[in-house]
Amino acid sequence: MLEIDGVSKRYGTVRALQDMTFSVRPGELFGFVGANGAGKTTTMRIVLGVLAADAGEVRLEGRPIDAARRRRIGYMPEERGLYPKMAVGEQLRYLAELHGMSAGDAKAAAARWTARLGVAERAGEEVQKLSLGNQQRVQLAAALVHEPDVLVLDEPFSGLDPVAVDVMSTVLRERCDAGAPVVFSSHQLDLVERLCDRVGIVRDGSMVAQGRVDELRAGDGTGASTVVVHAPDAPAGWTDDVPGVSASRAEHERTVVTLAAGADDQALLRAALATGPVHEFTHRRPSLTELFREAVGEGVVA
């Protein structure tokens, strides 16, 4: 269990983090979303000890994190970086050894991950001679080569081709299933929605919403739901007399109906069928993107 508890950080007069609190359970994939500058990278850097927090604490398995425990984290910084003039295999072995692996284990792990990520035949080449896509794969291998118990990845999907995105998704899921807490940040909200068990939305250095995606969707608190109906023959104002309808508007050929909490959607369906054929009748659930827009406020969209 990785816990971030009341972490605050200022850069001079700029407040970067204010009481940032969340936790990631073992075997949980946690998506970290928020506008640029909201504090995601700062949070991750504090978890890794690359930055010191002004206040608050990071705990791993219930105890404050220290240098020895941090070695068990696999980290991918937002700013990608490897030694440009060092060969791929050598570099991965070096990083594995820095994380405390023996020379033999490091060699085996480097070979395994280069093979897994499809860069095995490049193992002898300098990193700077690789294509950007392959460099990204090596970067991921660098985060995974020491078989970490926790993964903290800042924008792991940015710059990846679709095949690499699939490989990355599989690997994340796999580490998760092996019982590792996994946190990653991303602006690709559809991906976060698809992959993550839980999502946290950050705004101005604080967590403004967190929970399972369906929980977040369900919850604007009023219990109201939105239904989209496609009934081409329906006259304007056909929903006016249906019980429980609180609002309705036309959207192209469809009608978007807001039902009050506890209203019977079957009554709406019957009313629709009464107007003629019904081609579509769906509950519209807010996407993560909409939730995100709502949470971070107008105008600030990733």
Partner 1 sequence: MRTVLLITRREFLARVRGRAFVISTAVILLILVGYSLFVGSLSSAGDSGSTTVAVAPETLGITSALRTAADDQGRIVRVLPVSDAAAGRALVASGDADAALSGPPTRPRVDVETSLGSATGSVVTVATTLLAQQQLLPDPSAADAAIAAAEPVVVAARPEDPAQGLRIGLGAFGAFLLFFSIQTYGAMVAQGVVEEKSSRVVEIVLATVRPWQLLLGKVLGLGAVGLLQLVVLGGVGLGVAGTAGLLVAGAGLTGTLVSVLVWYLLGFTMYATVYAALGSLVSRQEDTQSVLTPVSIVVLIGFVAGFNLVLSAPTSTALTVLSLIPPWTPLVMPARIALGGVPLWEVALAFVLTAAFTALVLWLGGRIYARSVLRTGARVSWREAFTGR
Name the residues that contact partner 1, by CB under 8 A. 12, 45, 48-52, 67, 70-71, 73, 75, 77, 79-86, 94-95, 97-99, 142
Q: For residues 82 and 213, which CB has a smaller minimum distance to partner 1 in the complex?
A: 82
Both tokens of residue 66?
């220290």
Q: For residues 102 and 222, which CB has a smaller minimum distance to partner 1 in the complex?
A: 102
Q: For residues 12 and 162, which CB has a smaller minimum distance to partner 1 in the complex?
A: 12
Long-range contacts of 8-14 (CB under 8 A, 24+ apart): 8/53, 8/54, 8/55, 8/56, 8/205, 9/39, 9/42, 9/46, 9/51, 9/53, 9/54, 9/205, 10/54
CB of 34 to partner 1, least distance (A): 20
| CA distances in angstroms from 160 to 72, 98, 144, 252, listed in the order given | 25, 27, 17, 36
CB of 132 to partner 1, least distance (A): 14
**Counts for the chain of helices (H) and strands (E), in that order:** 10, 14
Both tokens of residue 83?
């030694």
Q: For residues 51 and 300, which CB has a smaller minimum distance to partner 1 in the complex?
A: 51
CB of 142 to partner 1, least distance (A): 6
Q: Environment class of residue 175 by beta-carbon count within 10 Å: exposed (0-12), middle (13-18) or buried (19+)?
A: buried
CB of 68 to partner 1, least distance (A): 10
CB of 76 to partner 1, least distance (A): 8
Q: For residues 4 and 272, which CB has a smaller minimum distance to partner 1 in the complex?
A: 4
Q: How is residue 61 annotated by DSSP?
A: T
Q: Which residues fall within 8 angstroms of residue 13, CB to CB, at 6 or more apart?
A: none
Q: How is residue 120 annotated by DSSP?
A: G
Q: For residues 54 and 197, which CB has a smaller minimum distance to partner 1 in the complex?
A: 54
Alpha-carbon gap, residue 39 to 177, rounded angstroms: 28
CB of 22 to partner 1, least distance (A): 20
CB of 53 to partner 1, least distance (A): 10
Of 136, 200, 185, nearest to 163 (Cα)? 136
Q: For residues 70 and 122, which CB has a smaller minimum distance to partner 1 in the complex?
A: 70
**Contact yes or no for 54/10 (Cβ under 8 A):** yes
Q: For residues 49 and 286, which CB has a smaller minimum distance to partner 1 in the complex?
A: 49
**Contact yes or no for 76/154 (Cβ under 8 A):** yes
CB of 71 to partner 1, least distance (A): 5
Both tokens of residue 164?
């690499």
